[in-house]
Amino acid sequence: MSLSNLKIAIVHWLVNDVGGINSWTENFVRGCRALGCQVSTFYSTHQNRLNCSPTEKVNRGRYHLLPAYHLPYTDKEVAKSVQVLNRYDLVVFAHPSPHPVKATEDLKWSRGWQKLYTDVTTAKVSVFHDRHWDRTNTWMAEVSACPDYVHAAQHHFVGSVRKFAELSNVPWGWSTFPLVVPKVLPLSQAKVRQFTWATQWLAIKNHRFLVPRLLELRVPVKTYGGGQVYHKLVPEMVKTYREDWHAGKPAVYNKASPHAYYGHVEYARLLKEMAESWFSMDLSIQGMTNMTHWEPMTVGTISVMERRVAEDKYCEIPKTCCKVFDLDTVVEDLNEISATPIKELQLIQQNAFDLVQRSECSSIAKKILCQAGMV
């Protein structure tokens, strides 16, 4: 089958902390369209209505809904939704399923989404962004025979995807993140020696190790994102941040601080502001890279990661392409990193830019479509 004019439906479920799933989807869509595919994006929910738009993003506070149509799986509407998806050559579930929670998993509607697997007859792909689907999405086992191909969004998820695929002997594979990579490395003369810190505010992201000590850093930190941990750290943020945009307008805290918190901002703005900084950091230690490690490299910004991530057997980013710190000495290490000579920064910058060329979004999209048997 030719990729030109291949009709693809991307199906999303509503989850509170989408993290890199949105940017993965956006870049996959860009890659597919660059190949000549016709792509439509949907949000499938148990509701009859959803405030989404097919032409623009919709702000949901902690994240944006991508431009998409609504595809309900209520008893009344699910048959129509199945008909819609059957008009496409391929359905890609950008995340395997809704997240079951104790308050809802026993409700009747909670299994309606499965009809989009069982009753849709066109080819189906499920993309996994989790190492533990058997904990967070246990009910995926009930539709394990339905996907024609399952895909790990990064190497670290291979074990999880293999475990799922083996339930029903379904083909599987993996790739690096699809990235939008400019043809030429952005100029570095305008960059500022500062850190951007864009991440989900979850306990595993380790904000508590740095927020109380921010004033010990020698360069500014621009902080983004949102989540449950934010509220626990507000007392510390009042002491260490100059301003906080959580409510949409700045609350002024410590006027002497060089650091600012901007909450959730739109993806394009985040990349633009990241491009102005020399460094972008992520404090997670769970052994996996994520979009906040990869995307800075596309705009010539140095990715700064914890040692356990950099030395994990699945890490695809060599140390010649990043800077590394230890969480136990995070402030001391970040101060040292911020003073790195410009020639060394430029060498790392070029190494990283060469690395991300292989993850250009149309190349990754073509790889996934080939692995799914669409070529």
Q: Considering only 174-178, 184-188, 371-375, which range has the smallest mean pLDDT? A: 184-188
DSSP string of 93-109, one letter each residue: ESSSSPPP-TTTTTSGG
Question: Whole-number mean pLDDT of the chain?
Answer: 90
State phi, psi for 69 to the nearest 5 degrees.
-95, 160
> Mean pLDDT, to the nearest integer, of 24-44?
95
Q: Considering only 24-33, 77-86, 256-265, 267-276, which range has the smallest mean pLDDT? A: 267-276
pLDDT digits (tens, 9 = 90+) for 263-303: 888 878 888 899 999 999 999 887 677 888 999 999 999 99
Any idea what DSSP says for residue 360?
Answer: B
Q: Which residues of 122-161 are buried (b: 16+ CB within 10 A; e: fewer)?
A: ebbbbbbbbbebeeebebbeebbebbbbbbbbbbbbbebb
pLDDT digits (tens, 9 = 90+) for 292-303: 899 999 999 999
Share of the chain above pLDDT 70, in %: 95
> Mean pLDDT, to the nearest integer, of 152-158?
88
**Is residue 349 over pLDDT 90?**
yes
- Strand, coil or helix: what is 136? helix
Q: Count H helices and E strands in the chain, helices first.
A: 12, 17
Of 3.40.50.2000, 3.40.190.10, 3.40.50.10330, 3.40.50.11600, which CATH number belongs to 7-179+360-371?
3.40.50.2000
DSSP string of 199-242, one letter each residue: ----GGG-GGGTGGGGGG-SS-EEEE---HHHHHHHHHHHHH-S
Distance of CA 234 to the CA centre of its chain: 25
**Is residue 109 over pLDDT 70?**
no
Binned at pLDDT 50, 70 and 90, residue 19 comes out as: low
Rounded to an integer, what distance in angstroms lies between the CA atom of residue 283 and that of residue 309?
Answer: 9
Residue 240: the pLDDT is 97
List every span in the chain annotated with CATH 3.40.50.2000: 7-179+360-371, 192-358
Rounded to an integer, what distance in angstroms lies between the CA atom of residue 109 and that of residue 155?
Answer: 33
Binned at pLDDT 50, 70 and 90, residue 63 comes out as: confident
What six digits make up the tokens of 233?
């750290």
Q: Considering only 117-121, 144-148, 247-251, 363-367, which range has the smallest mean pLDDT? A: 247-251
The partner residues of 277 in beta bridges, in order of sequence, read: 192
CATH number of 192-358: 3.40.50.2000
Predicted TM-score of the model (pTM)? 0.86
What are the CA-CA distances from residue 90 to residues 3, 56, 93, 164, 374 (Å)? 11, 23, 10, 20, 8
Binned at pLDDT 50, 70 and 90, residue 357 comes out as: very high
